[in-house]
Structure 1
């Protein structure tokens, strides 16, 4: 080619450059990744051609150089790979999206070539007002060629005096890009982010040393990448400390992980990587998006939501696969069958590893369980296949700190904790301090109590009730101990309906407003507390599930619900009830309901009379209840034991208690 040619890039629209800038690449900084990846591809292709015997010359030291001239606002990416002829530039550069990678792979299979789309080069125009290519092909008799374009469909191409094999891409940064990407520090940062594991050495400047009070360049190239990262090596070659060192290199501010999984599969897809299980100190500060996705050792993204199941995004580590389909920007994943297969494979490998530790290292598994529990529960709730596997290695932990497999625990408690309906009742607590009295009451009955203090446990116990036949979970404070695991039908105290209504009204008069209360009399024994406040298992559980985003907002919007059990066999309570009967006169008989033929005025008159009688009786009950310090004291004690006594009510309780003590001392 002896003359300079001008022409138009082969695209279907003249607006291709604005499209590239605004839509094809969501993040402008990846231009450097794309250009370095092209240079790495050219080097890898050169190596493949030489190893195949097609190239007989001197291969040389294959590497990619990145050079920045801050004053001139130019950035150069230089390789000594296969180079291009003028025909190849016309075919692969002037015809957008006609990548040479696909064609090359057909001839040289099993080579790690990154590019697939041919649009990577054009990402340069996101930051450059002009781009030039100088290239000399490896082919015998090839001549140097230069191509230039100023960010529009027109280009110039002609001969140049380049005499070394390879390609030089020069970006003339626009003013805005020069501010963002025209400094050594920024380029170093981008290379560290995207290119630190690329399979060909990437050089940026020289290594520095401290001399005469400042850093100065040495003669040694600053190679920013490791060409053989740990995941590309065979597990048999590696030791525990190798995996731990690699983790610290990836996450220098993190604690050492619990354990790791080395992924290595080449059929029916290619996938390598290392996944780490991090320690979770604060369950509410869980971090996602710590798995880095690579394509032939080129960093793509740390958002792998579409590749691994959601629960596995809690893990750390790297995944590398050329078979994960990417769109032209490599920034978002395209869903296809390979992705689904890879996701299934990773889930299986994780389950295999967890089951292996459970079976072969049971002591270590129990020590790690508190850190693993949230992760495994999340997986069981969100992935059916993982759930079926996890039922074999998930653990329960009781309030004494002892661990059980799900199967072993059922065997341990079935005999003593089976109710009259033949269901095994799993008692649990969520806070051993707040629910201490209820836990002790259960233990005094010979029952075991599990500790379920994970944020997901409201959902988790629901799942387990579905997965484990003839099972029911009940929190220890959801009812009185005899009602938690009823062994037979229990006879309730006989009370007239009017007395039940008065008892309910009396307690509601002194309980905090804004909640729903269900008052019920029972015989719990003279040594049991006079009043026990519990929370209905169903309502409380679904409120918690709603708070965790379980799609049950209906329950989250309802007032809190409490069961108030009045122990009529307690001497104090028996005295209060007896006194109340003597001081609260029975409610006046209500007028009969109006007949069908009654006029509207008559109906309203009778309704008003009935309501007036009820209100008058309620006023009598309220006056008695609010004036009865002993009633308020026993109710406040029950509230206090449940952490429900607050503000003015707590202050009044303290003052009343001090008065009782003072009165007792005077006697």
Structure 2
């Protein structure tokens, strides 16, 4: 065959600049596309052999990637089915005529365990993002001469016969001057590892196979042991602790979805755990931004999902939402809820031990997904300050006899910081009230959601008011103070509290003489604003609180009996500072003055 000259069939002279600048979002994609093409060619020859359409020796089917820094070339070689001259004209010269699509159409009725990756027919031309010239040396599995195709990125090409001993294709990229960074072996290895770590055909680079062609998500769960899942987790996240448990996804109808999702051990700072789920399409890495596929609250999980039914644009870089994406999203939510329910029912004690980490996922799901609450309501857990766990229904039964208010609402007392709120917790326990621990970053949102779902249940922080007001049974204590004494007490503390509200209340004589409370609605608004990043929307606002003075406390009676206004002011100041100290609000010079004043009083 003599050298043939021709023109590539495209509709515009500007197709190559479009491919180079706009079609692909990142120029490193060229290697993913060319290696994926090589995988396709290899899968095709394996399929033809299995079908009896090719009776030759398959041989070693490794794909080889080589860099020649001196010649300024990158070569991707496969031993797949190769191409004839006519096929080169059809699949290379006619842009967007995908050989993969043509092959699939031809054999669409054959059961396919080795799916073909390509679908758009544009992947090959991503080579021109980094190359000034590309050569194809290819020999078909059919009894046809080998050919060489050459193109320098214009619409002109050359096609000629060559000698080539082995079946398969070599793609040789002559790297452009502005892309010589890709001649660094470390760069190529990094790209191959990123996109080809789990490609279904062995990829060889620098005489080493860099991929695992049979990751656990392509295997049957019945063939795997716990050790296999843990080893794969370490392969993905070598620096992470072992996960709590995992879910193996394996769906073939009404969409194809495989993968393994792991529940990591996490505590409070869940923002750091995002972007740990990797999305693959037929074992080709696509992205770790899975917000359209995985529900928001499950983006804290780790692992891999793989689906050929997730629609991609031609660059395979961005997801395009459609019905399948929504179905996959719902399916993943259901699988997670089913797994959690199964763990709860089979081994509640083990589930309770994992709750500190699991709870964050469950709470986030309940807040962000209306349907998830219906699936999760039976395994939501409250942990009290004694370390005991209860479902909401169990807990309501436990406390409703003592913790019902005058309106028949069950009041759930909670602490957001057991150490700082210890005195309030002990006061509650003195009355045989129970206190649960809600100290996660999401708990303010979680409480709001539960109050909408649980009938006649309200949540109040244990330091949010006096116990008589937190659980208002409609029984009012009589004040032992006269109106004149109340006025005097209010005057003493108003001077200290500034713009904050001072309340003189007739409480039990056992309650604290002075306490600082932040109304529940204000506390939640502050916490939620902080989580939502809105704390500085109107500038840094000072904390407003109520100063509650227990008029029935013997300590207040003692203060009123002191001789001299100055002594009463000093006494009131000491009580006020103690109230601030109990809430962690006394610091700096005020704390120093309080300590010195206390020493002076002790010395008297």
Is the TM-score greater than 0.5?
A: yes
CA contact (8 A) 1:79 1:167 kept: yes
Residues 73 and 625 of structure 1, relative CA distance in 2, 3 Å threshold: farther
2:358 counterpart residue number: 372
1:210 counterpart residue number: none
CA contact (8 A) 1:426 1:471 kept: yes
Residue of structure 1 aligned with 2:154, choices 152, 155, 162: 152
Q: How does 1:20-169 map to 2 (within 5 A)?
A: 20-109=19-108, 110=112, 111-140=114-143, 142-169=144-171
CA contact (8 A) 2:382 2:390 kept: yes
CA apart distance, 1:548: 0.7
1:649 counterpart residue number: 590
Q: Deviations over 1:90-125 (max 9, x none)?
A: 222222222122221122233411111111111111
1:400 & 1:266 partners in 2: Cα distance? Answer: 47
Matched, 1:247 2:250: no
Matched, 1:662 2:593: no
CA contact (8 A) 1:419 1:425 kept: yes
Q: Deviations over 1:223-247 (max 9, x none)?
A: 2222211111111111111111111
Question: Does the residue aligned with 1:294 lie in a helix, a strand or coil?
Answer: strand
Residues 120 and 421 of structure 1, relative CA distance in 2, 3 Å threshold: same
1:185 & 1:97 partners in 2: Cα distance? Answer: 32
Residues 625 and 289 of structure 1, relative CA distance in 2, 3 Å threshold: farther
Q: Deviations over 1:166-222 (max 9, x none)?
A: 1110001123322x221222222222222121111212232xxxxxxxxxxxxxxx2
Count matched residues: 600
1:15 counterpart residue number: 14
Matched, 1:191 2:192: yes
1:555 & 1:428 partners in 2: Cα distance? Answer: 29
Q: Give TM-score, length-normalised by structure 2.
A: 0.94
Q: Deviations over 1:441-460 (max 9, x none)?
A: 11111111000010110111
Q: Deviations over 1:374-418 (max 9, x none)?
A: 122111111122222111111111111111122211111122111
Residue of structure 1 aligned with 2:427, choices 441, 445, 461: 441
Q: How does 1:574-589 map to 2 (within 5 A)?
A: 574-576=557-559
1:626 & 1:27 partners in 2: Cα distance? Answer: 75
Larger deviation: 501-510 or 550-559?
550-559
1:160 & 1:630 partners in 2: Cα distance? Answer: 102
Larger deviation: 654-663 or 86-95?
86-95
Question: Does the residue aligned with 1:628 lie in a helix, a strand or coil?
Answer: helix
Question: Does the residue aligned with 2:315 lie in a helix, a strand or coil?
Answer: coil
CA apart distance, 1:502: 6.4
Larger deviation: 254-263 or 628-637?
628-637
CA apart distance, 1:528: 3.2
CA contact (8 A) 2:427 2:511 kept: no
Matched, 1:467 2:487: no
CA RMSD for the aligned pairs? 2.3
Residues 293 and 88 of structure 1, relative CA distance in 2, 3 Å threshold: same
CA contact (8 A) 1:506 1:625 kept: no
Question: Does the residue aligned with 1:286 lie in a helix, a strand or coil?
Answer: helix
Question: Does the residue aligned with 1:122 lie in a helix, a strand or coil?
Answer: helix
CA apart distance, 1:164: 2.6
1:401 counterpart residue number: 387
Matched, 1:629 2:570: yes
Residues 35 and 554 of structure 1, relative CA distance in 2, 3 Å threshold: closer
Question: Does the residue aligned with 1:186 lie in a helix, a strand or coil?
Answer: helix
Gaps of 5+ in 1: 207-221, 584-623
CA contact (8 A) 2:260 2:303 kept: yes
Residues 497 and 45 of structure 1, relative CA distance in 2, 3 Å threshold: farther
2:219 & 2:437 partners in 1: Cα distance? Answer: 42
Residue of structure 2 aligned with 1:562, choices 534, 542, 545: 545
CA contact (8 A) 1:510 1:625 kept: no
1:169 & 1:33 partners in 2: Cα distance? Answer: 13
CA apart distance, 1:138: 2.2
Larger deviation: 156-165 or 144-153?
156-165
Residues 285 and 269 of structure 1, relative CA distance in 2, 3 Å threshold: closer
1:328 counterpart residue number: 314
Residues 188 and 498 of structure 1, relative CA distance in 2, 3 Å threshold: same
Question: Does the residue aligned with 1:155 lie in a helix, a strand or coil?
Answer: strand
Residues 249 and 554 of structure 1, relative CA distance in 2, 3 Å threshold: closer
1:479 & 1:114 partners in 2: Cα distance? Answer: 63
Residues 557 and 389 of structure 1, relative CA distance in 2, 3 Å threshold: farther
1:150 & 1:404 partners in 2: Cα distance? Answer: 71
CA apart distance, 1:63: 2.4
Residue of structure 2 aligned with 1:529, choices 509, 512, 516: 512
1:127 & 1:330 partners in 2: Cα distance? Answer: 18
Residues 27 and 502 of structure 1, relative CA distance in 2, 3 Å threshold: farther
Residues 536 and 646 of structure 1, relative CA distance in 2, 3 Å threshold: same
Which protein has the larger Cα radius of gyration, Structure 1 or Structure 2? Answer: 1
Q: Looking at both structures, which has the greater relative contact order when contacts are Cα pairs under 8 Å and sequence separation is at least 6? A: 2
Matched, 1:311 2:297: yes
Question: Does the residue aligned with 1:473 lie in a helix, a strand or coil?
Answer: strand
Q: Deviations over 1:144-178 (max 9, x none)?
A: 22211112233222322234321110001123322
2:6 counterpart residue number: 6
Q: Give TM-score, length-normalised by structure 1.
A: 0.85
2:211 & 2:466 partners in 1: Cα distance? Answer: 65
Residues 497 and 162 of structure 1, relative CA distance in 2, 3 Å threshold: farther
